[in-house]
């Protein structure tokens, strides 16, 4: 007998900016998402907290902002065990939970908790490859057990962007990013075509993206950071180089060792910024060779090869968290804290140099934190509605459950607030959105708040960091900083932003812990399914 509960497909596209997927004036061709939106409901003003992947996924799966779930950057953090997840609630309702992820989303980051199958793949495994064929066949062939919840993480828009030959022309976009959007939409059509009508489909992004159309102005926080870090001098081994040499699990463990030390760095002090030079760069590379396993010619031949690269990474232990932990612990003991931090800061600053080009991590302008959101469930959600009111990334968690008829008493106190009332056409007022850059040296941390009218950002631990206030209705491109003209409004918005941190601090995690009875029910369900003994 067919389950009455819908299957749920959560598609999270890395680097998906809203204005290239939803709304007028788009140059990318997205007929498949357009059809999904025309038959569902769309929210073009969906605001994420950060412009980086791992914290955004932690927010999607917990309904919490980073001050409460504790994941602040792409690498080096792990979601605490006591934080309940969307998958916990769904498992209690009989759902089989699956994740298909890539990029930095390694199982050891704690996001795998609650998934019965959490499958990591190399970034070259996209929907347009043999991996995509296999994924679609699994859906068509019923290999995911219904009712299922699948979290599908897509990497095709992330640099280096994937553009098919069919879409590599001005007809499909003026920029490489727009053509990559058009290319990915073609592949999405294959996925959407494999779903039956009893599927709740959610399409969104983890964060936005910078393109050549946006520039950073003088006098902003980004300009200040560029100068403080000495970006023009930055050279050396960036984190993506370490991932290529030693594997992503090593990078996660290395960042885990260095992240606590980063909070103590004061870049405004002379010793805070490392020296760049030939010998320093050479030493870094020679040191990092100790973390690299033996690779052979046959291993190098599969670099970038769909399906084969993931298998090679597994075979050589490059996705082995235990191996990575032992190697990094031995490495850090022999190197010492001072030399480790010096090397890490060179890596981190060089990474920041690349992030300025991509927009990741460094700020919270709308092109970096405004993502598309479409919900589609035939017969249950009215078709074609476009809601321009602001919603927030942590609101997606409770809204999914609300649409399914699962009440708040099943998941407790979270930052997110269901916007099902908005979908139903009822009176609804958006909550302010918290935005931040955290986990970096305190000099560069940014905290802020976005309402439908204004966005305000400031340095919570560095008064030298330029404050920025934008009137989003009069200046949606955030080009005219009004902070100097509206001090009263800045104070009001600063207090509002601080409430997200002060009122919902780390102690609240104890309130969020699963009860013993909740844990027993989840384990019983997994036992019934044969996933644990």
- Residues facing 98 on adjacent strands: 117, 150
Quick check: is 1 in a domain?
no
Look at residue 523 in the predicted model and tell me its pLDDT: 45
Quick check: is 4 in a domain?
no
Q: Do 179 and 293 belong to one domain?
A: no
Look at residue 515 in the predicted model and tell me its pLDDT: 42
**DSSP secondary structure string for all residues of 357-373:** HH-TTT---HHHHEE-E
CATH number, position 198: 3.40.720.10
Q: Do 182 and 255 belong to one domain?
A: no
Quick check: is 110 in a domain?
yes
List all residues 6 or more positions away from 71 whose beta carbon is below 8 Å from its beta carbon: 54, 55, 58, 77, 78, 79, 109
Q: Do 193 and 331 belong to one domain?
A: no
Quick check: is 217 in a domain?
no
* 302 alpha carbon, distance to own chain's centre: 27
pLDDT tens per residue, range 464-507: 999 999 999 999 999 999 999 999 999 999 999 999 996 544 43
Picking from 358, 382, 414, the residue at the C-terminal end of a domain is: 358
Quick check: is 225 in a domain?
no
Q: What is the CB neighbour count within 10 angstroms for residue 64?
A: 28
Q: Do 370 and 324 belong to one domain?
A: no
| Gap between the Cα atoms of 487 and 103, Å rounded | 41
Q: Do 48 and 152 belong to one domain?
A: yes
Look at residue 511 in the predicted model and tell me its pLDDT: 33
43 within 8 A of 414, measured Cβ to Cβ? no
Q: Do 144 and 44 belong to one domain?
A: yes
| Gap between the Cα atoms of 112 and 531, Å rounded | 14
Q: Do 426 and 451 belong to one domain?
A: no
352 within 8 A of 234, measured Cβ to Cβ? yes
Look at residue 300 in the predicted model and tell me its pLDDT: 63
* DSSP type of residue 334: H
Buried b (16+ CB within 10 A) or exposed e, 13-51: bbbbbbbbbbeeebebbbebbbebbebbbbbbbbbbbbb
404 within 8 A of 200, measured Cβ to Cβ? yes
Domains held by the chain: number: 3
Range of the domain at 470: 433-502
Q: Do 137 and 183 belong to one domain?
A: yes
Picking from 358, 379, 398, the residue at the C-terminal end of a domain is: 358
The model's pTM: 0.92
pLDDT tens per residue, range 177-214: 999 999 999 999 999 999 999 999 999 999 999 999 99
Low-confidence ranges of the chain (pLDDT < 70): 1-3, 236-237, 240, 270-272, 294-302, 502-533
Quick check: is 187 in a domain?
yes
Name the pairing type of β-strands 370-371 and 46-47: antiparallel
| Gap between the Cα atoms of 270 and 508, Å rounded | 38
CATH number, position 493: 3.30.1120.10
Q: Do 43 and 152 belong to one domain?
A: yes
Look at residue 280 in the predicted model and tell me its pLDDT: 86
Q: Do 108 and 77 belong to one domain?
A: yes
Q: Do 285 and 324 belong to one domain?
A: yes
94 within 8 A of 119, measured Cβ to Cβ? no
Q: Do 300 and 266 belong to one domain?
A: yes
Picking from 358, 380, 402, the residue at the C-terminal end of a domain is: 358
Look at residue 241 in the predicted model and tell me its pLDDT: 73
Quick check: is 126 in a domain?
yes
Look at residue 525 in the predicted model and tell me its pLDDT: 39
Quick check: is 228 in a domain?
no
Look at residue 287 in the predicted model and tell me its pLDDT: 87
């Amino acid at each position: 007998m067919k389950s009455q509960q819908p299957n749920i497909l959560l598609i999270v596209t890395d680097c998906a900016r809203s204005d290239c997927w939803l709304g007028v004036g788009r140059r990318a061709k997205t007929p498949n998402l357009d059809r999904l939106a025309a038959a569902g409901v769309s929210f073009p003003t969906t605001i994420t907290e950060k412009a980086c992947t791992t914290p955004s996924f932690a927010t999607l799966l917990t309904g919490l902002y980073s001050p409460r779930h504790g994941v602040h950057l792409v690498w080096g953090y792990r979601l605490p065990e006591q934080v309940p997840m969307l998958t916990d609630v769904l498992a209690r309702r009989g759902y089989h939970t699956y994740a298909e992820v890539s990029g930095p989303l390694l199982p050891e980051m704690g996001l795998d908790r609650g998934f019965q199958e959490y499958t990591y793949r190399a970034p070259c495994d996209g929907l347009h490859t043999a991996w995509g064929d296999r994924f679609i066949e699994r859906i068509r062939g019923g290999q995911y057990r219904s009712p299922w919840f699948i979290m599908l993480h897509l990497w095709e828009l992330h640099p280096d962007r994937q553009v098919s030959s069919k879409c590599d022309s001005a007809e499909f976009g003026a920029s490489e990013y727009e053509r990559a959007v058009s290319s990915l939409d073609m592949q999405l059509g294959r996925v959407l075509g494999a779903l039956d009508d009893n599927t709740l489909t959610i399409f969104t992004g983890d964060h936005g993206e910078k393109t050549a159309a946006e520039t950073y102005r003088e006098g902003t926080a980004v300009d200040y950071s560029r100068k403080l870090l000495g970006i023009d001098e930055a050279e050396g081994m960036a984190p993506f180089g370490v991932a290529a040499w030693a594997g992503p699990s090593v990078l996660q463990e290395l960042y885990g060792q260095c992240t606590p030390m980063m909070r103590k760095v004061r870049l405004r002090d002379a010793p805070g910024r490392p020296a760049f030079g030939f010998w320093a760069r050479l030493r870094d590379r020679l040191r990092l060779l100790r973390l690299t396993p033996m690779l052979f010619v046959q291993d190098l031949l599969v670099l970038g090869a769909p399906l084969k690269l993931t298998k090679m990474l597994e075979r050589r232990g490059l996705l082995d968290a235990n191996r990575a932990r032992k190697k990094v612990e031995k490495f850090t003991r022999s190197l010492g804290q001072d030399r480790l931090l010096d090397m890490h800061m060179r890596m981190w600053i060089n990474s920041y140099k690349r992030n300025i080009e991509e927009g990741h991590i460094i700020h919270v302008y709308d092109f970096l934190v405004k993502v598309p959101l479409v919900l589609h469930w035939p017969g249950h959600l009215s078709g074609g509605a476009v809601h321009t009111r602001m919603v927030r990334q942590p609101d997606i968690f409770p809204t999914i459950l609300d649409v399914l008829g699962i009440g708040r008493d099943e998941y407790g106190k979270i930052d997110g607030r269901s916007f099902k009332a908005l979908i139903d056409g009822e009176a609804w007022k958006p909550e302010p959105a918290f935005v931040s850059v955290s986990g970096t040296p305190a000099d560069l941390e940014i905290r802020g708040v976005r309402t439908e009218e204004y966005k305000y950002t400031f340095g919570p631990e560095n008064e030298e960091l330029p404050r920025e206030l934008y009137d989003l209705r009069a200046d949606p491109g955030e080009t005219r900083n009004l902070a100097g003209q509206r001090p009263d409004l800045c104070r009001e918005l600063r207090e509002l932003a601080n409430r997200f941190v002060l009122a919902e601090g780390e102690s609240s995690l104890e309130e969020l812990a699963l009860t013993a009875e909740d844990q027993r029910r989840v384990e019983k369900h997994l036992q019934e399914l044969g996933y644990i003994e």
